[in-house]
Amino acid sequence: MATKIILLPGDGIGPEITAPTLELLSAVGTNFDYEEHAFGGASIDAHGTALTDATLAACRAADAVLLAAVGGPKWDSTDPSRPRPEQGLLGLRKGLGLYANLRPVRPLAALYDASPLKREVIQGTDLLVVRELTGGIYFGEKTRTAEGASDLCAYSRVEVERIARVAFRAARRKVSSVDKANVLETSRLWREVVRELHGAEFAHVELEHVLVDNAAMQLISNPADFDVIVTENMFGDILSDEAATLTGSIGMLPSASLGDAGSPGVFEPVHGSAPDIAGLGVANPLAMFLSAALMLRHGLGMEAEAAAIESAVDRALADGLRTRDLGGSASTHEATQAVLSNL
């Protein structure tokens, strides 16, 4: 049976970076059975909700999900009763049990000068953010009254242990567990569970605990010191956008969201729908290309094809490809041609 991929182009630049990604996937010799679904704001417009039951069921039954981005000013509202595109993303992650979000940050030498940070600072950086994706403040009970609002942050031992295990297994050198244990009870539990798992199963891996405010500073002053960063949902969200600065642009960072073996993964760039440039044909498609590579590697076991995409991206950049976010003027189309010609 053909490999089934659910495509969720979503909103904003989403469709503009999805189409060239399919070209690239076919150029590396894949022959997938694609099924496209409206998602996020597009799904709100079509069906009144950001994620329909039918779309979630289709994702569950697929081999992998390739997602671009959701959201935009059209659906932004402070009214809690209005549907939001982002609810689709959260519902998909929760619905598929995708608790592990892997965000590799591997700045390429060709792009050192595209970063606002100094070359000497970036050099040698090759880190992985392992972000917990289905717990914490994102999913706790929310309240809203005329006078106030609250978001509950909760974690169970099981939730912390399973994400910590992903991090230890991915580590080559060291795990930096990032928390706010000097203030938050959830962080104290986090630290305790990570420490226990380390002692019981991963004592051969170096472990350090870093407070999140310090981690945010170290990430751009001494990034090469990190190997694997494991952290809770919201800290991971913020730190990964910060880490994107090391690679030259948020338009470079891919991600893989994985659950337990057997559940399909979701593969998507770290960036959003970039409403400020949507429709202009200038979005950087590379984070989406690299997300497709992660899909091939982690979701479908196609390492050779994954590596082919990654090295074509590297070579195109080494040849001078620069989209606007990287300080150049290449359009999405030109960027796609540059990568295709380096395959």
The catalytic residue positions are: 138, 180, 213, 237, 241
- Whichever of 119 and 142 has its CB closer to ligand IPM, that residue is 142
x/- map, 246-285, ligand NAD, by CB under 6 A = ----xx----------------x--xxxxxxx-----xx-
Least separation in angstroms between CB 76 and Mn ion: 16
Least separation in angstroms between CB 164 and ligand NAD: 24
Residues 6+ apart with CB under 8 A from 325: 248, 249, 250, 251, 284
- Whichever of 56 and 89 has its CB closer to ligand NAD, that residue is 89
159 binds, among Mn ion, ligand IPM, ligand NAD, none (CB under 5 to 8 A by kind): none
Question: Do 323 and 284 touch, CB atoms closer than 8 A?
Answer: yes
52 binds, among ligand NAD, Mn ion, ligand IPM, none (CB under 5 to 8 A by kind): none
**Can residue 70 be called a binding residue for ligand NAD (CB under 6 A)?**
yes
Distance between CA 130 and CA 123 in Å, rounded? 21
> DSSP code of 157?
H
From the list 218, 224, 216, 212, the residue with the least C-alpha distance to 174 is 224
20 binds, among ligand IPM, Mn ion, ligand NAD, none (CB under 5 to 8 A by kind): none
Distance between CA 11 and CA 71 in Å, rounded? 6
Amino acid at 60: R
Question: Do 174 and 162 touch, CB atoms closer than 8 A?
Answer: no
Q: From the list 35, 63, 86, 242, which residue makes contact with ligand IPM (rule: CB under 6 A)?
A: 86
x/- map, 218-257, ligand IPM, by CB under 6 A = -------------------x--------------------
- Whichever of 101 and 125 has its CB closer to ligand NAD, that residue is 101
Is the four-CA dihedral 283, 286, 290, 292 of positive or negative sign?
positive
List C-alpha distances in Å: 256 to 66, 98, 100, 164, 307: 10, 9, 8, 16, 15
**Can residue 302 be called a binding residue for ligand IPM (CB under 6 A)?**
no
Distance between CA 16 and CA 205 in Å, rounded? 42
For binding to ligand NAD (CB under 6 A), which residues are involved? Answer: 13, 69-72, 86, 89, 250-251, 268, 271-277, 283-284, 287, 325
For binding to ligand IPM (CB under 6 A), which residues are involved? Answer: 71, 86, 89, 237, 270, 272
